Amino acid sequence: MNIKIQDSTHSTRYIDIYITQRTFDASQLFIMLIFSFFKTLTDQVITVELKNDLSITGTLKSVDQFLNIRLDGISVEDPERHPHMLAVKNCFIRGSVVRYVRMAARSVDTTLLEDATRREAKEAKK
Would you tell me which residues interact with another protein (CB under 8 A)? 39, 42, 50-53, 56, 61-66, 68, 70, 74, 80, 83-94, 96-97, 99
- Looking at the Cβ atoms of 18 and 66, the one nearer to another protein is 66
Choose between 20 and 42: whose C-beta lies nearer to another protein. Answer: 42
| Cβ-based nearer residue to another protein, 13 or 94 | 94
Q: How far is the CB of 109 from another protein (least distance, A)?
A: 20
Among the listed residues 98, 104, 99, 108, the one whose alpha carbon sits nearest the alpha carbon of residue 68: 98
Alpha-carbon span 5 to 68, nearest angstrom? 42
Nearest to 15 by CA among 27, 28, 25, 2: 2
Helix (H, G, I), strand (E, B) or coil at 6: strand
With CA atoms as reference, report the closest residue to 67 among 44, 100, 24.
Answer: 100
Comparing C-alpha atoms, which of 18, 41, 27 is closest to residue 104?
41
Q: Which is nearer to another protein, 84 or 122 (CB)?
A: 84
